[in-house]
Structure 1
């Protein structure tokens, strides 16, 4: 056997860490049907339940709260491995894991412990924050107000509610009667909540990123987080890294599929440069470039994940606000840099993949087009051009890269 032939491909090529090894078989099983699920638009409710039952939704929960307390470096590599099998599954947990992270870092309180207990009990947290309304940038049309009976009620419509279709609890961004932003936790099946599967993007079709309507939904006072003066937070870097890990996972499977396709290919071109597809230097060069692109994406994700671990240690260690602000600003800049590494490398690789074969690579049953569609859809969440400009301004004028941003009418 040659050295090249002995190199594992596909899921077997994943980094062999105890955490990855633990979930490998389940990930492989869930990923086997991913192309078919997408073609049939079969929402992965069963797959979400399997992952919950296996403990996936609790891996980042602190040990003292019933989880495993894995590091950010371990978790984001694991998330990329899930995205390698099915990027829809990986993305739909974005709000769930960011909820765990920000709640675990919140000041100790009975309310914080109760929220973490939701995750320990196996509940999945979804998102309802983005709107497509006439509200101005920085404002929200979704309102939390007290009725004549003294009870709090939530009204509004959200779009791009990633994961909400699969969630037991939906985390909603709203404004209270004083115009202050608040976070509201509501049951996904509560009266007045309508979760609609109307996401119509050409990629990431099964993330549940549709519309969620809240019509006079009664809210418990204990389910409201009222934001006062907050410490610097790496929350923005965290949610961005979820998306980048998803794209890095797509980069891994682009390489997997290229190797698998070439090794199985028996036909060659008369004007080719080798006796077989696998022995053609031109094809080898393409596969080598796909390998390097995936390596670059993985390295960028790992760098930011290490920064999140450092930020977490500083927060848990009681770092002063000014020190923490410096750490977070550096992390926001690194996340922007990672975006400019991960996205173009994987998008280019998902197109270059087709250079390893002829028209047979476009066979719909192979579904190789899904890699570009999925990566392009995730990449469109936050246009990289703005991040490039922000990094340029950082270098030229010393202006920190903005961590948080919002959309709305100008």
Structure 2
């Protein structure tokens, strides 16, 4: 029997209180082009110590501040509320750029953007104005959606009870990506009828405990650990009835999956670039090839070509999914939402495959020395294997096949 390893590197009380205070308002990005430019600038900086952060499980405190202060966390906020309202194709590009440099940072913002859409879909106008202004000022949403140990991912035990003007929440969450570093933690809890609500809890709310006990071998610095909720009171104005997003055709589920696929595509980008750099500088030609350089090996050349082609194909389908999501947001219907969901499922399959393939090929093409611990190149495989486990792609294949073969529409939930 394998011994259990206990990991607890930090909790909310160990983070400096001033970490959650914005020294200055975040920049407000005005266009898609500006968003992509900002992402490239940040990725260059984030990549410098990405390997060290992974190796030491060092929380990216400085990087998260730079990330949200850049304005990128607010780029999907509608123009009517002061945001750039960028296309989802642009959002995917931003996620890929950041994730190629540090996929943990790419994942930390993943649920933030997904929840912005829930606010747009299900919150009141007053709630939208309040929270969108907070995001544009640089504040971040975390995530306390999933639980562990239940029959399925959709079986939630965390309870919300409504009182006069407020609600009380009790329960326990896991996989709470980014919660430790967020200003607001959206907690999904069910009422006495089993309907899910999201309660946005301010960081340091009484009864709220966030523990960084994420021990996964990949995505090490996402703070995807435990959230404990002991009679946490929350004002009713901070509660959003997210169940409504799945009572009608909306792109909410597709958006959640779409951003995950973009993270995987970014992991693939980073792994391929790392492979090219290593082969150019360090790899040796095989003894029987008669060649002077590993870069002249026709099998290596072909493998790089294969990786690039499959990455381009995956990203192309991801772009198609982003465009379909935009259409579904503009004109929600069974048809437009199904198209967005199906294309996102296809993209999720392809980005998963290329992320895993690229991470494996890195070592195959680079040689035995590339496995040395001090290089930490295995972080690409560890990150790819860990993040691609979000929602099994074998069921994406089933969703797509069932639609085309049996005319069965995709299911309405965040995991399709």
Provide the TM-score with structure 1 as the length reference.
0.87
Q: Against the structure 1 CA distance between its residues 91 and 182, is the aligned structure 2 distance closer, same or farther, given a 3 Å change threshold?
A: same
Once the two structures are superposed, residues 262-317 of structure 1 have per-residue CA deviations (whole angstroms, 9 ceiling, x without a partner) of 221374332125221112222211211221122122112111111111112225xx
Deviation at 1:365, TM superposition (A): 2.6
Residue matched to 2:35: 19
Out of 375, 387, 390, which is 2:384 matched to? 375
Deviation at 1:141, TM superposition (A): 1.4
Distance in 2, Cα, partners of 1:106 & 1:301: 26
Out of 391, 394, 413, which is 1:385 matched to? 394
Structural mapping, 1:280-299, within 5 Å: 280-299=297-316
Residue matched to 1:319: none
Deviation at 1:170, TM superposition (A): 0.6
Aligned residues: 383
Deviation at 1:235, TM superposition (A): 0.8
Once the two structures are superposed, residues 341-382 of structure 1 have per-residue CA deviations (whole angstroms, 9 ceiling, x without a partner) of 111122112112222232111122322211121111111111
Out of 128, 131, 156, which is 1:112 matched to? 128
Distance in 1, Cα, partners of 2:96 & 2:234: 35
Residue matched to 1:155: 170
* Residues 43, 98 of structure 2: 8 Å contact kept: yes
Deviation at 1:67, TM superposition (A): 2.1
Residue matched to 2:362: 353
1:340 and 2:340 correspond: no
CA RMSD of aligned residues (A): 2.3
SS in 2 for 1:127: coil
Distance in 2, Cα, partners of 1:33 & 1:250: 16
SS in 2 for 1:126: coil
Distance in 2, Cα, partners of 1:71 & 1:302: 10
Residue matched to 2:264: 247
* Residues 283, 355 of structure 1: 8 Å contact kept: no
SS in 2 for 1:189: coil
SS in 2 for 1:396: helix
Q: Against the structure 1 CA distance between its residues 178 and 309, is the aligned structure 2 distance closer, same or farther, given a 3 Å change threshold?
A: closer
Distance in 2, Cα, partners of 1:151 & 1:189: 17
Once the two structures are superposed, residues 238-273 of structure 1 have per-residue CA deviations (whole angstroms, 9 ceiling, x without a partner) of 111111101101111122111111221374332125
Q: Against the structure 1 CA distance between its residues 136 and 18, is the aligned structure 2 distance closer, same or farther, given a 3 Å change threshold?
A: closer
* Residues 248, 294 of structure 1: 8 Å contact kept: yes
Q: Against the structure 1 CA distance between its residues 72 and 81, is the aligned structure 2 distance closer, same or farther, given a 3 Å change threshold?
A: same
Once the two structures are superposed, residues 182-240 of structure 1 have per-residue CA deviations (whole angstroms, 9 ceiling, x without a partner) of 22111121111111111121111111111100111111011112357543111111111
Q: Against the structure 1 CA distance between its residues 402 and 362, is the aligned structure 2 distance closer, same or farther, given a 3 Å change threshold?
A: same
Q: Which runs of 5+ in 2 are unaligned?
A: 1-31
Out of 132, 135, 144, which is 1:128 matched to? 144
Out of 35, 38, 50, which is 1:34 matched to? 50
Moved over 6 A (4+): none
1:221 and 2:236 correspond: yes
* Residues 159, 210 of structure 1: 8 Å contact kept: yes
Structural mapping, 1:131-142, within 5 Å: 131-134=147-150, 138-142=154-158
Q: Against the structure 1 CA distance between its residues 195 and 58, is the aligned structure 2 distance closer, same or farther, given a 3 Å change threshold?
A: same
* Residues 156, 189 of structure 2: 8 Å contact kept: yes
* Residues 394, 400 of structure 1: 8 Å contact kept: yes
* Residues 318, 343 of structure 2: 8 Å contact kept: no
Residue matched to 1:274: 291
Distance in 2, Cα, partners of 1:402 & 1:270: 54
SS in 2 for 1:199: coil
Residue matched to 2:224: 209
Q: Bigger shift: 230-239 or 126-135?
A: 126-135
Distance in 2, Cα, partners of 1:65 & 1:151: 26
Structural mapping, 1:251-266, within 5 Å: 251-265=268-282
Distance in 1, Cα, partners of 2:49 & 2:270: 14
